Amino acid sequence: YCEGWGGLAKLHGPARFAVALAAASYEGILGKLELNGFDNFNKRAMVPGREKLAMIPRVWWTLRSASSSDGLL
């Protein structure tokens, strides 16, 4: 996931934000998998809606900060 963030600079317009938000969501799922000991058969790894909503301003700010400083993430 860390390597993928660098590619966001090549995206333009709303696609950049949409992909960044999806990436943050999937990173969140990976974090939940880690907490579950990577046991996705007995416990579902998911990011609750409230956590996804909380990601929106963080992702927006990250993209805004990156594009104003050097254009890369």
DSSP 3-state helix, strand, coil percentages of the chain (rounded to 5)? 70, 0, 30
Query: For residue 19, what pLDDT is reported?
Result: 94
Taken in order 7, 11, 17, 23, the sign of the CA dihedral is negative
Query: For residue 50, what pLDDT is reported?
Result: 96
CB-facing half-sphere around the CA of 72: CA atoms within 13 A = 6
Residue with tokens 């929106």: 56
Each residue's pLDDT expressed in tens, for the chain with a length of 73 residues: 778 888 888 888 899 999 999 999 999 999 999 999 999 899 999 999 999 999 999 999 988 887 765 544 4
